[in-house]
C-alpha cells in the first residue's frame, strides 16, 4: 500500500524542489534531500510494523524526490548549455539501469539476507555521497534577498500540483480493491483531478509571476504522455509474463530488460545528438512512431510467442520512449532563461511520474472492466471463484495474479476444474491485456500533437529569454 500512497519519488515534491533550489542554493538543498533520504531508509530498515515502514517510505520519498531533480539542476549550472543534454542523458541512463539492478538486488537481499538490507544498503552509499558533496561541490549562493526570492514562489501552482497528485493517487490506490472503479468516489476524484489540472495549466500560462510559454507547455504535456505510456507498458508486460508464461516476478522483470535497455540507450543517444547538433524537435516526431509500432507489436504477444519476438517488440517501444524522456528535460531548460531553469526542471521531472500515475489509472480501469465483463462468459471460472470465496478467500476475477496462484495451488483441493478455470482466466487476461495495451497508443498520438506546438530553440548568448517568452 505504501508504494502508491507514499511513492519513493514523491511526485509533487520534485516540482517544489526546483523552487527551493532557487531560494537556498543547489548545494544545500541537495545535501538536505540526501540526508532526508538516508533517514527514511534507516527508518524503513528498522521498521517493526507496517505503520513505521510507511512512515519511513514517506520520509525517504521526500528526500528521494529531490536527489534526482537537483542533480539535473546542478548539471544545468556547471555544464555549458551545449553539453547539458549529454550529461543529463547519462544521468537518466544510470537511473534506467538502476530500475533493472534494483529489483534484482532487492530480490537477492530478500532471498539470501533480509529484506531490511533493501533499505540499509543506502546508508553506506550516503556516508560517502553526503561528505563528498559538502566538501567538493562548490556552487555560488543565489543572488537576491530572501524576501525577493519568496515573492517569486508560485504558491498557487505549488498547491495545485500537490492537490492533483493527491486526487489522482487516491483513486488509483483504492480503485478495484477498496472501491469499485465505477464507484462515485473514484469517478468524482478523477473529475476533480481533471479540473485541477486545467486550473494548473491556466495558472502557469496566465497568472503565475513567471508564466511558462506555449512551447514549454507542449514539452511538459509530452512528458506527461510519455510517462503514461512508459509506466503502463512496463507494468502490463511484467504482468503478462507472470500470468501467461507463469514466470516469477523476478523472471518477469528480467524479461522486461530489452525495453529498459533500449529506453536507456536511446535516452543517452538523444542527449548526445542534442549536445552535438542542438536539434531535439525530431525526437517528438520519431519517438511516437516507434512507440506506436512497439505498442501494437507487444499487444499481439500470446503464450505461443517466441522469445525473440518478445525481445524485439519491447526493444522497439523502448527506442521511442527513450528518445523523448530526457529530451523533454533538456528541451524545457533550453526554452527558458537561466533564471527559470530550476523551476522548469522541477516541473519537467514531475511530468513523467505524474503521467505514469494517470496512465496506470486509466488503463487499470479499462483492464478491470474488461475482465469483470468477460468473466461472465466462463461458468467454470465463475464457479471456481465462488468456491474460493465460500472458503473466505477474498478474490475476484480482476485480481488476476492472486487468483491464478490460487487456481494452480496444489494444496487447494476443494476447487473443481481448477486447471480449466485457470485456462479461462488466462484467455480473459489475454483479451484485456491486448485492449489495454492498445489503449496506450493514445499517448504517443498526444506527443505527436504536442510536437507541432514546440518551437525548437538553439540559444545564443543574450537572446534566450526573449525567444522563450515570445513563443
pLDDT tens-digit readout, 27-47 = 888 999 999 999 999 999 988
Three-state DSSP at 175 gives strand
Tell me the per-residue pLDDT of 388-412, one tens digit each, with 9 for 90 and over. Answer: 888 888 877 888 888 888 888 888 8
Q: Inform me whether the pLDDT recorded for 6 exceeds 60.
A: no
Match domain 210-471 to its CATH number in 3.40.50.1100, 1.20.1250.20, 1.10.630.10, 1.10.1060.10. Answer: 1.20.1250.20
Are 1-153 and 210-471 in the same CATH fold? yes
182-198 burial, b at 16+ Cβ within 10 Å, e below that, comes to eeeebeebbebbeebbe
User: What's the confidence (pLDDT) of residue 468?
Assistant: 34
Q: How confident is the model at residue 142 (pLDDT cuts 50, 70, 90)?
A: low
Domain boundaries defined on the chain: 1-153, 155-208, 210-471
Other C-beta atoms closer than 10 Å to the C-beta of 359 total 26
User: What's the confidence (pLDDT) of residue 148?
Assistant: 66
The x, y and z cell numbers of residue 354, run together, are 505524474
Tell me the per-residue pLDDT of 151-208, one tens digit each, with 9 for 90 and over. Answer: 666 677 777 877 877 787 777 666 655 677 677 888 888 888 889 888 877 776 665 5
Q: What pTM, to 2 d.p., does this model score?
A: 0.76
Q: How confident is the model at residue 100 (pLDDT cuts 50, 70, 90)?
A: low
Q: Does domain 1-153 have CATH number 1.20.1250.20?
A: yes
**What whole-number distance in Å separates Cα of residue 456 and Cα of residue 450?**
12
Q: Inform me whether the pLDDT recorded for 466 exceeds 60.
A: no
User: What's the confidence (pLDDT) of residue 84?
Assistant: 76
User: What's the confidence (pLDDT) of residue 319?
Assistant: 93
Distances (CA, A) of 109 to 113, 159, 460: 5, 39, 50
**What whole-number distance in Å separates Cα of residue 173 and Cα of residue 192?**
16
User: What's the confidence (pLDDT) of residue 62?
Assistant: 83
What Rg value do the Cα atoms of the chain yield, rounded? 23
User: What's the confidence (pLDDT) of residue 267?
Assistant: 86
**What whole-number distance in Å separates Cα of residue 123 and Cα of residue 46?**
12
Q: Inform me whether the pLDDT recorded for 3 exceeds 60.
A: no
User: What's the confidence (pLDDT) of residue 272?
Assistant: 86
Amino acid at each position: 500500500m505504501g508504494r502508491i500512497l507514499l511513492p519513493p519519488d514523491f511526485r509533487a515534491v520534485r516540482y517544489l524542489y526546483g523552487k527551493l533550489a532557487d531560494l537556498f542554493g543547489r548545494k544545500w538543498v541537495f545535501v538536505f534531500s540526501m540526508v532526508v533520504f538516508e533517514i527514511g531508509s534507516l527508518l524503513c530498515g528498522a521498521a517493526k510494523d507496517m505503520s513505521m515502514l510507511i512512515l519511513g517510505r514517506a520520509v525517504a520519498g521526500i528526500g528521494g524526490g529531490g536527489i534526482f531533480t537537483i542533480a539535473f539542476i546542478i548539471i544545468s549550472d556547471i555544464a555549458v548549455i551545449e553539453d547539458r543534454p549529454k550529461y543529463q542523458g547519462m544521468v537518466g541512463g544510470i537511473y534506467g539501469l538502476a530500475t533493472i539492478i534494483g529489483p534484482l538486488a532487492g530480490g537477492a537481499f530478500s532471498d539470501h539476507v533480509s529484506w531490511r538490507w533493501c533499505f540499509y544498503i543506502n546508508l553506506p552509499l550516503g556516508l560517502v555521497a553526503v561528505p563528498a558533496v559538502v566538501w567538493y561541490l562548490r556552487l555560488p549562493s543565489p543572488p537576491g534577498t530572501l524576501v525577493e526570492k519568496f515573492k517569486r514562489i508560485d504558491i498557487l501552482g505549488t498547491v495545485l500540483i500537490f492537490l492533483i497528485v493527491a486526487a489522482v493517487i487516491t483513486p488509483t490506490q483504492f480503485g478495484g480493491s477498496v472501491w469499485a472503479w465505477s464507484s462515485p468516489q473514484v469517478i468524482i476524484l478523477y473529475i476533480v483531478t481533471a479540473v485541477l489540472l486545467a486550473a494548473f495549466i491556466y495558472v502557469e500560462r496566465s497568472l503565475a509571476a513567471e508564466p511558462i510559454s506555449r512551447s514549454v507547455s507542449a514539452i511538459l504535456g509530452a512528458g506527461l504522455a510519455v510517462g503514461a505510456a512508459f509506466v503502463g507498458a512496463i507494468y502490463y508486460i511484467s504482468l503478462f509474463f507472470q500470468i501467461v508464461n507463469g514466470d516469477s516476478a523476478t523472471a518477469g522483470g528480467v524479461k522486461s530488460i530489452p525495453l529498459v535497455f533500449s529506453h536507456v540507450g536511446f535516452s543517452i543517444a538523444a542527449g548526445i545528438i542534442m549536445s552535438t547538433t542542438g536539434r531535439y524537435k525530431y525526437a517528438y516526431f520519431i519517438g511516437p512512431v516507434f512507440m506506436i509500432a512497439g505498442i501494437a507489436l507487444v499487444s499481439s504477444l500470446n503464450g505461443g510467442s517466441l522469445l525473440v519476438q518478445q525481445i524485439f517488440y519491447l526493444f522497439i517501444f523502448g527506442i521511442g520512449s527513450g528518445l523523448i524522456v530526457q529530451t523533454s528535460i533538456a528541451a524545457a531548460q533550453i526554452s527558458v532563461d537561466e533564471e527559470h531553469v530550476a523551476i522548469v526542471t522541477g516541473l519537467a521531472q514531475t511530468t513523467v511520474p505524474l503521467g505514469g500515475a494517470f496512465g496506470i489509472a486509466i488503463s487499470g480501469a479499462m483492464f478491470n472492466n474488461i475482465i469483470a465483463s468477460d468473466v461472465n462468459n466462463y461458468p467454470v471460472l465463475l464457479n471456481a471463484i465462488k468456491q474460493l470465496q465460500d472458503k473466505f478467500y477474498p478474490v475476484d476475477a480482476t485480481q488476476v495474479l492472486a487468483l491464478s496462484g490460487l487456481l494452480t495451488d496444489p494444496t487447494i483441493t476443494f476447487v473443481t476444474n481448477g486447471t480449466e478455470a485457470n485456462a479461462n482466466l488466462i484467455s480473459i487476461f489475454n483479451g484485456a491485456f491486448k485492449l489495454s495495451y492498445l489503449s496506450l497508443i493514445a499517448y504517443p498520438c498526444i506527443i505527436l500533437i504536442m510536437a507541432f506546438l514546440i518551437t525548437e530553440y538553439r540559444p545564443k548568448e543574450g537572446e534566450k529569454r526573449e525567444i522563450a517568452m515570445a513563443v
